[in-house]
Amino acid sequence: MEVVSITIPAGQEIRKAILDYVLAHRIENALVIGAIGSAVDISVTTPIDHAPPLKTIEVPYQAACEIVGMSGEIMPWEQCDPRLKAVYPDKDCPLFVHIHIAAAMMGGHLFGGGLRSGKAFRAVRVFLLPQ
Protein backbone atom coordinates (compact mmCIF):
# COMPACT_ATOMS: atom_id res chain seq x y z
CA MET A 1 0.00 0.00 0.00
CA GLU A 2 0.98 3.62 -0.42
CA VAL A 3 1.53 6.25 2.24
CA VAL A 4 -1.63 8.24 3.01
CA SER A 5 -1.50 11.90 4.02
CA ILE A 6 -4.25 13.23 6.28
CA THR A 7 -4.56 17.00 6.73
CA ILE A 8 -6.18 17.94 10.04
CA PRO A 9 -7.44 21.54 10.07
CA ALA A 10 -7.08 23.98 12.96
CA GLY A 11 -9.19 23.18 15.99
CA GLN A 12 -9.77 19.51 15.24
CA GLU A 13 -8.79 16.80 17.71
CA ILE A 14 -5.79 14.94 16.25
CA ARG A 15 -6.50 11.39 17.49
CA LYS A 16 -10.18 11.66 16.57
CA ALA A 17 -9.36 12.91 13.06
CA ILE A 18 -6.97 9.99 12.51
CA LEU A 19 -9.50 7.48 13.83
CA ASP A 20 -12.32 9.01 11.75
CA TYR A 21 -10.16 8.74 8.63
CA VAL A 22 -9.20 5.09 9.11
CA LEU A 23 -12.77 4.11 9.93
CA ALA A 24 -14.19 5.99 6.93
CA HIS A 25 -11.67 4.28 4.64
CA ARG A 26 -12.13 0.85 6.26
CA ILE A 27 -8.49 0.66 7.32
CA GLU A 28 -8.07 -1.72 10.27
CA ASN A 29 -4.29 -1.84 10.48
CA ALA A 30 -1.95 1.08 9.87
CA LEU A 31 1.36 2.50 10.97
CA VAL A 32 1.63 6.19 11.81
CA ILE A 33 4.99 7.00 10.26
CA GLY A 34 5.19 10.74 10.85
CA ALA A 35 3.51 14.10 11.11
CA ILE A 36 4.28 17.76 10.62
CA GLY A 37 2.45 20.83 11.81
CA SER A 38 1.50 22.73 14.91
CA ALA A 39 -0.72 21.67 17.78
CA VAL A 40 -2.17 23.00 21.02
CA ASP A 41 -3.57 21.58 24.24
CA ILE A 42 -1.55 18.37 23.94
CA SER A 43 -1.86 15.79 26.68
CA VAL A 44 0.54 12.86 26.81
CA THR A 45 1.00 9.85 29.03
CA THR A 46 4.37 8.87 30.39
CA PRO A 47 5.49 6.01 32.63
CA ILE A 48 5.81 6.80 36.34
CA ASP A 49 7.52 3.56 37.30
CA HIS A 50 9.94 1.21 35.57
CA ALA A 51 8.53 -2.01 37.01
CA PRO A 52 5.65 -3.99 35.49
CA PRO A 53 2.75 -3.63 35.32
CA LEU A 54 3.02 -0.34 33.41
CA LYS A 55 1.73 2.67 35.34
CA THR A 56 1.35 6.01 33.59
CA ILE A 57 0.39 9.58 34.36
CA GLU A 58 -1.25 12.05 32.00
CA VAL A 59 0.64 15.34 31.55
CA PRO A 60 -1.06 18.34 29.88
CA TYR A 61 0.76 20.98 27.80
CA GLN A 62 -1.50 23.89 26.95
CA ALA A 63 1.07 25.88 24.97
CA ALA A 64 1.18 25.88 21.19
CA CYS A 65 3.87 23.56 19.87
CA GLU A 66 5.49 22.26 16.71
CA ILE A 67 5.32 18.52 16.11
CA VAL A 68 8.82 17.15 15.57
CA GLY A 69 7.91 13.48 15.55
CA MET A 70 4.93 11.14 15.58
CA SER A 71 4.80 7.37 15.29
CA GLY A 72 2.34 4.70 16.18
CA GLU A 73 0.09 1.85 15.26
CA ILE A 74 -3.61 1.30 14.72
CA MET A 75 -5.13 -2.16 14.94
CA PRO A 76 -8.14 -4.15 16.11
CA TRP A 77 -8.21 -4.54 19.91
CA GLU A 78 -7.77 -8.31 19.67
CA GLN A 79 -4.32 -7.78 18.07
CA CYS A 80 -3.18 -5.44 20.85
CA ASP A 81 -0.55 -6.52 23.39
CA PRO A 82 -2.53 -7.28 26.59
CA ARG A 83 -0.08 -5.23 28.70
CA LEU A 84 -0.74 -2.14 26.57
CA LYS A 85 -4.46 -2.84 26.47
CA ALA A 86 -4.53 -2.73 30.27
CA VAL A 87 -3.38 0.92 30.41
CA TYR A 88 -5.60 2.33 27.66
CA PRO A 89 -8.87 3.75 29.03
CA ASP A 90 -10.69 4.18 25.70
CA LYS A 91 -11.87 0.59 25.20
CA ASP A 92 -15.09 1.86 23.61
CA CYS A 93 -13.02 3.03 20.63
CA PRO A 94 -13.50 0.55 17.75
CA LEU A 95 -9.73 0.27 17.13
CA PHE A 96 -6.62 0.42 19.30
CA VAL A 97 -4.94 3.76 18.47
CA HIS A 98 -1.42 3.85 19.93
CA ILE A 99 0.41 7.05 18.97
CA HIS A 100 3.55 8.65 20.38
CA ILE A 101 4.32 12.33 19.83
CA ALA A 102 7.33 14.57 20.31
CA ALA A 103 6.83 18.32 20.17
CA ALA A 104 8.73 21.56 20.77
CA MET A 105 7.34 24.51 22.74
CA MET A 106 8.51 28.10 23.06
CA GLY A 107 12.16 28.28 24.00
CA GLY A 108 12.95 25.01 22.26
CA HIS A 109 11.69 22.87 25.14
CA LEU A 110 10.78 19.37 24.00
CA PHE A 111 8.20 17.03 25.45
CA GLY A 112 6.66 13.77 24.37
CA GLY A 113 4.85 10.61 25.27
CA GLY A 114 1.74 8.67 24.36
CA LEU A 115 -0.72 11.05 22.68
CA ARG A 116 -3.98 11.20 24.63
CA SER A 117 -5.42 14.42 23.23
CA GLY A 118 -4.51 17.57 21.37
CA LYS A 119 -5.82 19.82 18.63
CA ALA A 120 -4.32 21.04 15.41
CA PHE A 121 -3.23 24.67 15.88
CA ARG A 122 -2.79 25.85 12.29
CA ALA A 123 -2.92 22.41 10.71
CA VAL A 124 -1.33 18.99 11.09
CA ARG A 125 -0.43 16.54 8.33
CA VAL A 126 -0.25 12.93 9.47
CA PHE A 127 1.32 10.21 7.34
CA LEU A 128 -0.13 6.69 7.57
CA LEU A 129 0.99 3.46 6.02
CA PRO A 130 -2.04 1.14 5.79
CA GLN A 131 -1.10 -2.51 6.31
Q: Is the pLDDT of residue 105 over 90?
A: yes
The per-residue pLDDT for range 30-81, each reduced to its tens digit, is: 999 999 999 999 999 998 988 877 788 999 999 999 999 999 999 999 998 8
64 burial type by CB count under 10 A (0-12 exposed, 13-18 middle, 19+ buried): middle
Cα 3 from Cα 24, distance rounded (Å): 16
Give the C-alpha distances (Å, rounded to integers) separating 78 from 75, 82, 96, 110, 121: 8, 9, 9, 34, 34
CA neighbor of 4 nearest in space, from 13, 12, 24: 24
Separation of first and last alpha carbons in the chain? 7
Burial classification of residue 90, based on how many CB atoms lie within 10 Å of its CB (0-12 exposed, 13-18 middle, 19 or more buried) = exposed
pLDDT of res. 84: 79
Q: For residue 101, is pLDDT > 90?
A: yes
